[in-house]
Amino acid sequence: MIKAGVIGGTGYTGIELLRLLSTHPEVELAMISSRSEKGVPVSDVFPSLRGRVDLVFSDPAEADLNACDVVFTATPNGVAMTHARDLMANGVRLIDLSADFRIRDLSEWAHWYQLEHACPELVEEAVYGLPEMNRERIRDARLVANPGCYPTAVTLGFLPLLEQGLVDPQNLIADAKSGVSGAGRGAAVATLHGEVADSFKAYGAGGHRHLPEIRQCLAHAAGETVGLTFVPHLLPIIRGIHATLYARLTDTTVDLSELYAERYADEPFVDVMPAGSHPETRSVRGSNYTRLACHQPQDGGVAVILAVEDNLVKGAAGQAVQNMNLMYGFDETTGLQALPLSP
């Protein structure tokens, strides 16, 4: 049994962490922080956790974080890096769900996030927490940079093609859509029900802060820099990501479904669907699964890969728990076996 703490327990990612950790058989929830809800019982803020979580929210500045074995930071960008150095000096392992440790190039990170990094020496040590790419490194990590939701879907979708050198890495396109929970729990006009319902739009077409993270992942898989066009969209749904990915094939004879099935055969949370399938966001809602399907339309010269995930689970909290399981030698699927919700 390990003791886990959560810094930033009142956002959508935070409550998803609490939901998963509160039923994990190897975890004791020891601390949950929130400056805005300090002293308030967690179950008063989130009645869904009544009978499961009996903690009260504490101020992170006053909480005994060093009593934890592992701390999850589900905080705005720029917060986790202020805690990292002290936590690691005291032997506490850190799984950061923000972007503070994802991007290796600190000048590019500063450009996209408009911050100066507080502990640049730890960026090099941080392990990017995509198990399908870095499983063995995650096991020994002290600091894990949990991937973003869009980067998870796009990377898993392109990974087999790039690893095998089957596509032109300079002409990749990711057309990705997210539910409104991806924007966070803070009040904003753009995510009001009256603004989002019965509508659909692109945003960040000129550049999105997940772009450098995705390019970094794809370049690692390809062994060279990549050319990527990434355009995110906002869906009028609460949870879910759907990514439609396009790549020009250099070998049109390859059986894409067979390639993907073989690459992900031993991955517990990647489901390669039969050729010609069209996965839906509802097929992964509430679960840690990514479902993929492969197509070669028209003349077969372009691979079209469809990827769906729950942005709050495999795209955030579930993947963080998956990483924790690897770090502590638990079965990778522990606490994550729940099937998707349907309807």
Copy the structure tokens of residue 91: 């032997």
CATH architecture of 150-313: 2-Layer Sandwich (3.30)
d(CA 187, CA 86): 32
pTM score, whole prediction: 0.96
Beta strands in 40-131 (DSSP E): 70-73, 93-96, 127-128
Pairing between β-strand 270-272 and β-strand 302-309 as defined by DSSP bridges: unpaired
The 8-class DSSP code of residue 122 comes to G
CA distances from 51 to 83, 104, 201, 286 (A): 30, 42, 40, 20
Assess contact for 276 and 291: CB atoms under 8 A.
Answer: no
pLDDT on residue 187: 73
Q: Which residues pair with 294 in a beta bridge?
A: 305
Reported as type and span, the H/E element at residue 112 is helix 106-113
| Residues 204, 210, 215, 221, Cα dihedral to 10° | -140
- DSSP for residue 101: T
DSSP string spanning 220-289?
Answer: HHHTS---EEEEEEE-SSSS-EEEEEEEEES-TT--HHHHHHHHTTT-TTEEEPPTT----GGGTTTSS-
The two tokens of residue 75 are 């905080």
Q: Which fold has domain 2-125?
A: Rossmann fold (3.40.50)
- For the record, the structure tokens of 303 come out as 């691979």
Q: Does the annotation count 294 as an active-site position? A: no
All structural domains of the chain with their residue ranges: 2-125, 150-313
Q: What's the gap between Cα 85 and its chain centre? A: 23
pLDDT at 106: 94
Please answer whether residues 221 and 163 qualify as being in contact, where contact means their C-beta atoms are separated by less than 8 angstroms.
Answer: yes
Tell me phi and psi for residue 99, to 5 degrees. Answer: -95, 10
pLDDT digit of tens for each residue in the chain (343 aa)?
999 999 998 999 999 999 999 999 999 999 999 888 999 999 999 999 999 999 999 998 888 899 999 999 999 999 999 999 999 999 999 999 999 999 999 999 999 999 999 999 999 999 999 999 999 999 999 999 999 999 999 999 999 999 999 999 999 999 999 999 988 877 788 888 888 889 999 999 999 999 999 999 999 999 999 999 999 999 999 999 999 999 999 999 999 999 999 999 999 999 999 999 999 999 999 999 999 999 999 978 999 999 999 999 999 999 999 999 999 999 999 999 999 998 8
Please tell me whether residue 310 adopts helix, strand or coil conformation: coil
Residues making up the chain, counted from first to last: 343
Instruction: Please tell me the predicted confidence (pLDDT) of residue 114.
Output: 92
Tell me the C-alpha distance between 8 and 320, whole Å.
Answer: 14
2-125 and 150-313: identical CATH topology = no
Distance CA 53, CA 44 (A): 10
Written as six digits, the tokens of 23 are: 């039923």
Tokens (6 digits) for 314: 């495999």
pLDDT given for residue 184 in this prediction: 81
The secondary element (H helix, E strand) that includes residue 6 is strand 2-7
Query: Could you tell me which residues are beta bridge partners of residue 202?
Result: 233
Catalytic residue among 119, 149, 217, 294, which? 149
- State the chain's maximal CA–CA distance in angstroms: 62
∠316-319-325 over CA atoms, to 5°?
140
